[in-house]
Amino acid sequence: MKILHEDRDIIVCEKPAGVASQNERGWGADMVSLLLAYEKEKGAGNPYIGVVHRLDKVVGGVMVYAKNKTSAAVLSRQIAEHQVKKKYYAVVCGRPEKSEETWEDYLLQDGRNNVSKVVPKGTKDSKKAILTYRVLESVVKENLSGQEEWYTLVEVELLTGRHHQIRVQFASRNLPLAGDRKYNPNLSTVMGRKGLLLYSYYLEFNHPSEKKKVEFQSIPSQADFQEFSCL
């Protein structure tokens, strides 16, 4: 766990892939427990860590947590009103037809199987999902079947925050994320063998008490991302 910023109201950190962003049952570590332990080690008597947004367990990246209930309420309101800017790096299998584009779909979540899918507009319980992407770089690698395959690094900005949104919207266009075994079950790629290549690298919001815009970013440490010279 890497701390990027801390003050009396917030703590911004880099969540490692494989660690839950909120309290999780069982023996595995989660970010709330780790941050509470970190605060206690510094001498805080009764620390508070408020979860205001989430990342999938398999996704690493920049997150902000509130250190008091007032800040949690302010940040949660910003999230609900889409005032928080989130940008991701993702590696997709293939090459998008356009160098940049905005996609708007309707997603339906299947809570029982923990998946979502693109459905026609008007489908009961579906939610609008919007993102923009920009191609940064493409490389060719020999996949596990010995065939050459394109991989493309894209920058993605989420304009809505839906369940598995980036993974679903790209997979629905035959551009599954490298390493995504949930939405690309016939995975035969070389990149992403050690994990999903999706990383939340940029976070921008208004500081809950200082009332000014703050931004934080970090570069993914996964080896596959380092195959791209632009990072």
Cα(191)–Cα(98) distance, rounded to whole angstroms?
22
Question: Could you list the active site residues?
Answer: 56
Distance between CA 36 and CA 88 in Å, rounded? 26
Phi, psi of 166 (to 5 degrees): -60, -45
Gyration radius of the chain's alpha carbons:
18
Tell me, what DSSP letter sits at residue 36? Answer: H
- Per the CB < 8 A criterion, the answer to whether 67 and 48 are in contact is yes
CA gap 123, 119 in Å, rounded = 7
